Amino acid sequence: MAQAEKTAAQAASTAQNGGNNVVSLGPRDILQGRLEIQGDLKIAGNVEGDLKASGDVTVDSTATIQAAIEGANVNVRGQVTGNVTARRRLTLGGSGRLNGDVKVSRLTVEDGATLNGNVTMSSEKG
């Protein structure tokens, strides 16, 4: 029940940004469970579970995530353990650590980033 309350609280704090919903989890926020949103997701805290966004997903350098992630463009600068599906592009920033399999259309890995897992590339999907 606490998971549903957290999800509802995050949905209630969604801000309008250029007609696109943006949900932000701050550095002290903790989410356990599944979060599926229509819009963009920015994470700076801790997450366990599943994350799905119709828009972009940004994982800040302060974030620690143990979850499957799905988004249009996924940008990882923090620690992620779990499979990632990026319908357009996955970018691993220099401080990014990803342990899991990825399904992507395009992949960018900056100097200093680590990726441990299998990579499957396919054509770009909406």
* pTM for this predicted structure: 0.82
Strand 20-25 relative to strand 102-109, pairing: unpaired
Cα(67)–Cα(43) distance, rounded to whole angstroms?
A: 12
Report the Cα 92 to chain-centroid distance in Å: 11
Distances (CA, A) of 91 to 30, 65, 72, 73: 23, 16, 11, 8
Write the burial class of residue 89 (CB in 10 Å: 0-12 exposed, 13-18 middle, 19+ buried): middle
Q: Which helix (H) or strand (E) is 54 found in, with range? A: none
Q: Which residue has the tokens 């996924």?
A: 74
Q: 62-98, pLDDT tens digit by residue?
A: 999 999 999 999 999 999 999 999 999 999 999 999 9
Tokens describing residue 39: 């819009």
What pLDDT does residue 12 have? 38
What pLDDT does residue 19 have? 55
Cα(74)–Cα(98) distance, rounded to whole angstroms?
A: 12
Using a pLDDT cut of 70, give the percent of the chain over it. Answer: 83
Question: Is the four-CA dihedral 116, 89, 17, 7 of positive or negative sign?
Answer: negative
